[in-house]
Amino acid sequence: MRAFLLLIVTCAFQAFGQQIPQYSQWAMHQFAGNPAHAGIKKCVDIHSLYRLQWVGFDGAPRSGFLTVSVPLDSKRKKYLSARHGMGVKFETDQIGQFNVNRVNLAYAAHFNFDKFKRLSLGLFGGIMQMGFDPSEINTTDPDPAVQNEASFVAPDATFGAWFNDENYYIGLSLRNLFPSRWENIGNTSRNRFHFSLNGGYRLGINETMSLLPAVNLRIPPRGPASIDLNLHFDYRNLLGFGLGYRNTDALIAFASIKIQEQFSIAYSFDYTLSRIQIAAQNTHEVSLRFTTCKPRKTSTASCPLFE
């Protein structure tokens, strides 16, 4: 079973190039994927998430992150003068015998064209550490390609851009900017460039309710594009739930609740649609958030992404 799983994982990494974790709650944690969100709000914003994918499948992915975003200069003297922000992200991703850890610092500049229109540009810079542990792999004949333990450290960088108006946003992220080779892991394996584009719109129903449709397009270097379609319902900026669909994998359900204005917790459940469902049907994500931001008083149906 271990050898079979390793074959699947190795083929996925080499043939399809899907080298970065995916999260169902991407719309709630924009900074985790886009450095342009560093310090975009005039307060400290802390997010954490843990993803348990394909429960019951031996060697299935386990992913998570912790992000901290802070503004450096929250005041703007005039339009088109930049505000600045910084942040830090810790991320881990384990799949089969592979384990990847990343530590990145972020810097972003935010330019307002008027009260609502804003362009943000940001950069993650840091290191990634990849390890391969063959201790639980059994093969019929000794195979040096899968029997040697290996680990290496390489530079890591991501560029991000973000534009939003009062009721919509568009985000762009370019990841794995350094095509580092996987030292001692495979013969031709390397980090490969990944592209993602997402956007969303706020549709106010009334002063207490709003709908938030969103889409996320991910394009790996050697595989099919992945598209997430989400629809969130928000009530008084306190309770939320929604549904989502990922074309390559799953149907998704979301639920979130805010506690005392500064804490919030969210949960999502993925029902697997791909052939993986033969062995495992469920994926779970749980996230926690703490922010020092105060809610806008102008509307109880406001969305934090646009503030």
Is the confidence at residue 299, as pLDDT, over 70? no
What's the one-letter identity of residue 173?
S
Mean of pLDDT values over 222-232: 89
> What's residue 127's pLDDT?
95
> What's residue 104's pLDDT?
98
Give the chain's mean pLDDT: 84
Each residue's pLDDT tens digit, 70-107: 999 766 666 777 889 999 999 999 988 888 999 999 99
Give the CA distances from residue 285 to residues 7, 27, 50, 99, 293, in Å, rounded to whole numbers and listed in that order.
26, 13, 6, 19, 24
Is the confidence at residue 1, as pLDDT, over 80? no
Q: 123: helix, coil or strand?
A: strand
Structure tokens at 54: 């394909």
Is the confidence at residue 164, as pLDDT, over 50? yes
> What's residue 74's pLDDT?
61
Residues in the chain: 307
Element (H, E) at 226: strand 226-235
DSSP state of 29: -
> What's residue 42's pLDDT?
86
What's the CA gap between 206 and 132, in Å, rounded?
Answer: 53
pTM for this predicted structure: 0.85
C-alpha Rg value of the chain to the nearest Å: 20
What's the CA gap between 252 and 248, in Å, rounded?
Answer: 12
Instruction: Please say whether the dihedral angle defined by the alpha carbons of residues 16, 214, 249 and 101, taken in this order, is positive or negative.
Output: positive
Mean of pLDDT values over 223-239: 91
Each residue's pLDDT tens digit, 262-295: 899 999 999 988 887 777 778 999 999 999 887 6
Element (H, E) at 9: helix 2-11
Mean of pLDDT values over 199-208: 92
What's the CA gap between 229 and 25, in Å, rounded?
Answer: 11
Count of beta carbons in the 10 Å neighbourhood of residue 260:
6
pLDDT confidence of 189, banded at 50, 70, 90?
A: confident
54 phi and psi angles, rounded to 5 deg: 55, 60
Q: Indicate the domain borders of the chain.
A: 2-306
Is the confidence at residue 185, as pLDDT, over 70? no
Each residue's pLDDT tens digit, 10-66: 333 333 345 788 999 999 999 999 999 999 988 899 999 999 998 888 778 899 999
> What's residue 138's pLDDT?
61
pLDDT above 70 as % of the chain:
81
Q: 196: helix, coil or strand?
A: strand
Strand-strand pairing, 168-175 and 150-164: antiparallel
User: If you classify domain 2-306 with CATH, what class do you get?
Assistant: mainly beta
Contact 251, 268 (CB under 8 A): no
Contact 161, 121 (CB under 8 A): yes
Instruction: Please say whether the dihedral angle defined by the alpha carbons of residues 57, 58, 60 and 62, taken in this order, is positive or negative.
Output: positive
291 vs 135, more confident: 291
> What's residue 77's pLDDT?
64
> What's residue 4's pLDDT?
39
> What's residue 81's pLDDT?
75
What's the CA gap between 222 and 151, in Å, rounded?
Answer: 24
Residue with tokens 């063959």: 134
> What's residue 137's pLDDT?
65
> What's residue 202's pLDDT?
93
> What's residue 285's pLDDT?
97
Structure tokens at 6: 């390793």
